[in-house]
Amino acid sequence: MLLGFLLFYVGAVLFLNGLWLMGKIEDREIVVINVVSGLVAAGVVVQGAFGSGADMQTVRAAALTLMFSTTYFWVAYNRVAAVDGRGLGWFSLFVAISTVPVFLRAISAAGSPAEIWLAGNWLIWGVLWFMYFLLLALGRPILRPTAWVTLLAGIVTGWLPGFLLLDGLM
């Protein structure tokens, strides 16, 4: 259930950040969903890493989830501080590289459609973080495609599966 809760907010923040990158939401306004989603992800991290049932698997998942939480808080900070985002861009490269072994491990161990879907999510998220690196750290002119990939990733990897998990349909 916690995964559905987390993914639902990942979907919301990616969808809205995609709209923000398209210029449909103001910088100051996008802070709210990034802080809320950062808090949701941070709560999952605390539960997984430090909760009573913490084990090697939950701590690993918490470490990976913290990459999401950090990204959302960093986006919010950048909007409040009005900085250019180069630091977030370089962090995004670190995260994109980190998703490669996560994807490879997940796809090689996948034994069900749900596990294949989750592995595919890591691939999509890795591509998305790499696009943020190119956009923010290197200044490549890919704002529009990055906005669309962000929005669509929000629907496919977050909102839809999160909603289905919360409703017990997946």
* Whether pLDDT at 122 is above 90: yes
Q: What is the pLDDT of residues 57-107, one digit of tens each?
A: 999 999 999 999 999 999 999 999 999 999 999 999 999 999 999 999 999
Average pLDDT over residues 111-135: 96
* Whether pLDDT at 169 is above 90: no
CATH of the domain at 81: 1.25.40.600
Average pLDDT over residues 99-120: 95
* Whether pLDDT at 34 is above 90: yes
Q: Which domain holds residue 87?
A: 1-167
The total number of structural domains in the chain stands at 1
Distance CA 67, CA 166 (A): 23
Question: What is the residue-averaged pLDDT of the chain?
Answer: 96
Tell me, what DSSP letter sits at residue 26?
-
Contacts of 11 (CB under 8 A, 6+ apart): 154, 155, 157, 158, 159, 160, 161, 162, 163
Distance CA 31, CA 17 (A): 10
Q: Please provide the DSSP assignment of 53-91 as one string.
A: T--HHHHHHHHHHHHHHHHHHHHHHHHHHT---HHHHHH
pLDDT computed for residue 1 by the predictor: 81
Distance CA 123, CA 162 (A): 17
Distance CA 100, CA 11 (A): 21
Average pLDDT over residues 119-130: 97
* Whether pLDDT at 137 is above 90: yes
